[in-house]
Chain A
């Protein structure tokens, strides 16, 4: 099955757990991990939070692994750049290509950045994988985060699913007509996809505006408090 973070957030052992506690825990742990900048602590928090996610929230290992892989790709690329192209100081390794070297400084940066991010990922995952977005937004609202930001987040969140669906469908349609058969056609197909998506988004946003207006939208999304 496709990785569906939202579905997981709605269906795990910690879904009903107090979202305020989760939100505060996440923020505090993030700050502590970033501030301490300690390699052992990073590893420690990675292990602890992974256990919480896998054993307590009972999220499947495969889903959790997929959650980690996407940011991990960015992380690895970033750290490779840090390693080879940044920092001054004592040279500890010479690649021999175009004078690119690894210095003491850059090595330190790369390792610490990698570990810090590695520690933070499961902390974020703890919040993102166990809490439905509606609950997070509800928390933020009661914490007096500006309304406009919450409204934008809410509308974006809703639209993302429609957007991804649309891309998925179009890509399948292009694939069935061999749109990604060679490099050249892939470029062309991707270009067509992007421009069509843009036009369709405009169209959809207009329809959404009409449907919101039809129900008396005043430019501000009202807040519903369900019965306890």
Chain B
């Protein structure tokens, strides 16, 4: 569905942000891109819909190579929507509805179709009734939802979110992950960059780890979090539940190399251990 082949990109002669990244994301997947600050996550994302043109390498969407002329860019940007980290960077219109309508209008749809899409998208993210509000009067979580609605209204096949949980309160984070999972169930492929490792096993089927412009690992959350050397390189930690079980193992409880990653898994494991003793 979305494939990146050996992408290299330098901001200037001294700073090579991406040093040859290749990855492949299948239709309907939900994947996470992990990496510390400055690893090149945002730079990589801006390649996925042609904002940046790589110095070397190609991007393929549905097997079609991304071209950088106006017409193809419009087509690809409809297919791959990016939700920026800071909603203030994305929301520019004086009212919520005008902002959500911006993308669909650029696609040249009829006004009626745009109105339908705006309504649907706002309903989808739970922001119906805020149509006429000014974006700067909304809370951080609400702005994030509007930003997502703005992308949803373009009916993308892939939605790319750059650190979507940054700056949200805990309830906001929970609501957002729920929303993203629902969107994924509806068939939208979702790519998320994050360093909130606790949440990753809850939604991500696959994880990529990016370090200094290179992809150093790829696999299921189970596989990735079982490799301490990779986590260390990427400045990441295992989820807090996993840490607990690793500590328990040092106390003499045998885990057979299977550490729970989520609360649910941890609960099962606990009951199993309790019943054994």
Contacts and interface: CB of A to CB of B under 8 A. Distances in A.
Contacts of A207: 84, 86, 89
Contacts of A225: 111, 115
Contacts of B46: 210
Given A161-B136, A215-B154, A132 B94 contact: yes
Nearest to A153: B94
Contacts of B131: 226
A90 interface: no
Contacts of A157: 94
Interface stretch (A33-41, A113-121, A188-196, A216-224): A216-224
A170 to B, nearest CB: 15
A221 B101 CA distance: 11
Residue of B84, B86, B91, B105 ringed by the most chain A CB atoms within 10 A: B105
Contact of A204 (B78, B89, B107, B134): B89
Chain A interface residue count: which class?
A: 20 to 34
Interface in B78-134: 78, 81-82, 84, 86, 88-95, 97-98, 101-103, 105-107, 111, 114-115, 118-119, 131-134
Nearest to B90: A211
Contacts of B106: 215-218, 222
Given A211-B82, A226-B131, A221 B102 contact: yes
Q: Interface size for chain B: under 10, 10 to 19, 20 to 34, or 35 or more residues?
A: 35 or more
Contacts of A215: 77, 81, 102-103, 106, 150-151, 154
B137 interface: yes
A136 B136 CA distance: 18
Interface string B131-158: 1111011000000000000110010000
A214 B82 contact: yes
B74 interface: yes
B89 A216 contact: no
A18 interface: no
A212 B88 CA distance: 12
Contacts, number: 95
B51 interface: yes
A168 interface: no
A216 B134 contact: no
Interface in A77-111: none
A141 to B, nearest CB: 12
A7 interface: yes
B155 to A, nearest CB: 12
The 4 closest A-B pairs by CB, nearest first: A216-B106, A222-B105, A134-B94, A224-B101
A154 B93 contact: yes
A10 interface: yes
B137 A222 contact: no
Please classify the interface of chain A as helix (H, G, I), strand (E, B), loop, or mixed, using the class held by over half of its residues. helix
B49 interface: yes
A211 B74 CA distance: 13
Interface in A122-158: 132-134, 137, 154-155, 157-158
A161 B89 CA distance: 12
20 contacts: A6-B134, A6-B136, A134-B94, A155-B92, A157-B94, A158-B91, A158-B93, A208-B89, A208-B90, A208-B92, A210-B51, A210-B84, A211-B90, A215-B154, A216-B74, A217-B102, A222-B101, A222-B106, A224-B97, A224-B118
Contacts of B115: 225-227
Interface in B39-90: 46, 49, 51, 74, 77-78, 81-82, 84, 86, 88-90
A155 B91 CA distance: 10
Nearest to B99: A224
Contacts of B93: 134, 154, 158
A162 interface: yes
B151 A134 contact: no
Given A10-B134, A134-B94, A214 B89 contact: no
B197 to A, nearest CB: 26
Nearest to A134: B94
Contact of A214 (B81, B92, B132, B133): B81
B50 to A, nearest CB: 8
Contacts of A227: 115, 119
A173 B136 CA distance: 22
Given A211-B82, A216-B106, 13 more contacts: A134-B93, A154-B93, A155-B92, A158-B93, A161-B136, A208-B89, A210-B89, A214-B49, A214-B82, A221-B102, A222-B101, A222-B106, A224-B102
